[in-house]
């Protein structure tokens, strides 16, 4: 080929590229996009550059709204999204689930080296990445109903499509994704704690050997390593000495704090449980944080101006007004085989001096064996026996009942405990009617609040400070005082008080959180729920590489489909 022909060929190629760019800039529909959207509409899986398109319906709607025009024509927009996706680990999300590596490769590839079809493929990938990431940040990646069968909160379903359109127009892609995260301060503090803990990844973390318990004043060869571990975990000052085999000084002050924030008895004794907590790998703690972050994303954008929050795994209750905690209390939750459910509702009324109608399951599984063993059981606890239900029920003498002949399939009675100091509900209960028959209440078993792990109930939540909680609830626009509450309780009469404005209550399950003092707290996974959630959270449809056939793939060349390997 002579020089003249070669020049004409290069000129023609350059002209074609320029005409293609001009066509895309003019707003004309992109045929390659149309073909792929048609495949999605027909129900076919679409795979682009080796990755499946997952945000199928929202992606179709996005391109329909913009007349099938390319969206990611500006390099700055693509770079902004690729960088934002790389920052997702701080929220416990994996960039690989959002085409992370492929986006970075496409950002680095010169525009002039891409075919028209590959540019369309790139557009789909960037759109899919934003829609997926935005949805997961706003509403969570995992369907909570797949983890908690009892979940009843109607989760918000954020419409990401108009947000993406506006972000592309205004160049605010990173800010838009950031705004989709929960704005609750507790979520943001947990994100920051995760970032700090992530710095320990890759550092040596050899297990501290078992041995005799170490008490203040003891000497032990393990103490230098324990010093170093507590410094790494920020429980001990970085300037603290790590050479001493003696348990004294700063270590003696730091150990109880470490124990307390891990849900252990803060006795300062380095025993088996404390060593287990010290030996827990940073990656394990980060996974706990990731599970908690995902659970935060399941919650409403706003918990309410005033609300009650119960953390089952943390055995704690908080009441918050206008962003400020006004009450915290220890609680007792359900046993592992009678777990307290996760749900949100509204506290609607309070009952003072309540009666307790024993739930049928408890009657046949718990009370019936006790009655058979102890004839005076019912009288001692003030429990009356009724035959039938509703207005037609009648009181019967418990001595006339053949308790030995009863069973779970034959139990035509109700057991009702009257008001009094022995009542299982104590002197007050907080009602938010729900299908689990779960509520908050007082309890006569006050000594159980002194235990570190408090799984003793049959599903309801026993509150250590019930009257303080009642005082806060009734102070919300009502003419009540603590003195008036005490007078009402002293009458012994069952009284219902309806709240003029129901107060939101959120019963949740977090094994990691940051407390009001900024300390990162961890608790045992008492119901073994984190593992299943983390498995779902780590699951990646992109990594599976398995799609049902037929599969519509990119029309780009083999070399282009391997761009991330060859560039």
DSSP letter string, 435-503: TT---EE--S-GGGGGSSS-EEESSSEEES-HHHHHHHHHTTTS---HHHHHHHHHH---EEEEEEEEE
- Which carries the bigger pLDDT value, residue 464 or residue 34? 464
Which long-range contacts link 120-123 to residues 24+ away (Cβ below 8 Å)?
120/30, 120/32, 120/33, 120/36, 120/70, 121/32, 121/36, 121/48, 121/49, 121/554, 121/556, 122/72, 122/78, 123/30, 123/33, 123/70, 123/71, 123/72
- State pLDDT tens for residues 525-552: 999 999 999 999 998 766 544 333 333 4
556 has a pLDDT exceeding 60 = no
For a pLDDT cut of 70, what percent of the chain falls above it? Answer: 89
Q: Place domain 303-512 in its CATH homologous superfamily.
A: L,D-transpeptidase catalytic domain-like (2.40.440.10)
Among 227, 460, 528, 564, the active-site one is 460
Are 56 and 146 spatial neighbours (Cβ–Cβ below 8 Å)? no
As a whole number, mean pLDDT of residues 44-72 equals 90
Place of tokens 């209960």: 429
The CATH 2.40.440.10 portion of the chain extends over: 303-512
- 441 counts as catalytic: yes
The pLDDT-based confidence of 41 (bands split at 50, 70, 90) is confident
As a whole number, mean pLDDT of residues 154-178 equals 90
562 has a pLDDT exceeding 50 = no
Among 227, 262, 441, 506, the active-site one is 441
The per-residue pLDDT for 557 is 38
- The HSE-up count of residue 364 (CA atoms within 13 Å, CB side) is 11
Rounded to two decimals, what is the model's pTM? 0.86
- 460 counts as catalytic: yes
What is d(CA 171, CA 462) in angstroms, rounded to the nearest whole number?
A: 51
For a pLDDT cut of 90, what percent of the chain falls above it? Answer: 67
Q: Which residues contact 526 (CB under 8 A, 6 or more apart)?
A: 312, 313, 333, 336, 453, 455
What is d(CA 434, CA 438) in angstroms, rounded to the nearest whole number?
A: 7
As a whole number, mean pLDDT of residues 407-424 equals 90
Are 259 and 280 spatial neighbours (Cβ–Cβ below 8 Å)? no
- State pLDDT tens for residues 467-514: 999 999 998 767 888 999 999 999 999 999 999 999 999 999 999 999
Could you say which DSSP state residue 246 is in?
B
């Amino acid at each position: 080929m002579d020089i003249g022909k070669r020049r004409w060929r290069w000129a023609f190629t350059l002209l074609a590229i320029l005409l293609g760019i001009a066509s895309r800039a003019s707003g004309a529909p992109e045929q390659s996009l149309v073909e792929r959207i048609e495949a999605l509409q027909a129900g076919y899986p679409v795979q682009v550059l080796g990755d499946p398109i997952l945000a199928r319906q929202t992606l179709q709607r996005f391109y329909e709204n913009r007349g099938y025009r390319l969206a990611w024509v500006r390099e700055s927009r693509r770079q902004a999204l690729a960088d934002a996706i790389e920052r997702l680990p701080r929220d416990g999300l994996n960039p690989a689930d959002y085409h992370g590596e492929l986006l970075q490769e496409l950002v680095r590839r010169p525009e002039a080296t891409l075919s028209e079809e590959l540019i369309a493929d790139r557009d789909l990938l960037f759109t899919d990445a934003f829609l997926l990431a935005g949805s997961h940040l706003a509403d969570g990646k995992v369907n909570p109903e797949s983890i908690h069968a009892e979940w009843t909160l109607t989760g918000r379903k954020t419409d990401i499509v108009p947000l993406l359109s506006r972000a592309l127009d205004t160049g605010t892609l990173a800010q838009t994704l950031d705004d989709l995260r929960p704005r609750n301060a507790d979520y943001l503090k947990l994100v920051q704690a995760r970032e700090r803990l992530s710095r320990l990844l890759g550092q040596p973390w050899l297990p501290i050997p078992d041995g005799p318990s170490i008490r203040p004043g003891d000497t032990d060869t393990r103490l230098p390593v324990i010093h170093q571990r507590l410094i790494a975990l920020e429980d001990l000052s970085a300037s603290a000495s790590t050479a001493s085999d003696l348990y004294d000084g700063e270590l003696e002050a730091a150990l109880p704090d470490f124990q307390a924030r891990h849900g252990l008895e803060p006795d300062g004794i380095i025993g088996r449980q404390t060593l287990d907590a010290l030996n827990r790998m940073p990656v394990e703690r980060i996974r706990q944080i990731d599970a908690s972050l995902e659970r935060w994303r399941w919650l409403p954008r706003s918990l309410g101006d005033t609300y009650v929050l119960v953390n089952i795994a943390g055995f704690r209750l908080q009441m918050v007004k206008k962003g400020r905690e006004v009450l915290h209390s220890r609680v007792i939750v359900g046993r592992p085989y009678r777990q307290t459910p996760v749900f949100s509702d509204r506290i609607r009324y309070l009952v003072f001096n309540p009666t307790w109608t024993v739930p049928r399951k408890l009657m046949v599984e718990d009370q019936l064996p006790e009655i058979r063993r102890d004839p005076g059981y019912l009288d001692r606890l003030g429990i009356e026996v009724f035959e039938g239900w509703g207005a037609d029920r009648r009181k019967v003498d418990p001595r006339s009942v053949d308790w030995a002949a009863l069973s779970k399939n034959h139990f035509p009675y109700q057991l009702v405990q009257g008001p009094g100091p022995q009542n299982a509900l104590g002197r007050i209960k907080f009602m938010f009617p729900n299908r689990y028959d779960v509520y908050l209440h007082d309890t006569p078993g006050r000594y159980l609040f002194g235990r570190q792990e408090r799984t003793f109930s049959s599903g309801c939540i026993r509150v250590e400070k019930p009257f303080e909680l009642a005082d806060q609830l009734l102070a919300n626009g009502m003419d009540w005082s603590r003195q008036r509450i005490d007078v009402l309780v002293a009458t012994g009469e069952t009284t219902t008080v309806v709240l003029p404005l129901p107060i939101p209550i959120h019963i949740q399950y977090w094994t990691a959180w940051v407390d009001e003092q900024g300390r990162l707290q961890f608790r045992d996974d008492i119901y073994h729920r984190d593992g299943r959630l983390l498995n779902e959270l780590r699951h990646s449809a992109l990594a599976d590489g398995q799609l049902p056939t037929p599969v519509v793939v990119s029309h780009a060349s083999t070399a282009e489909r391997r761009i991330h390997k060859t560039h």
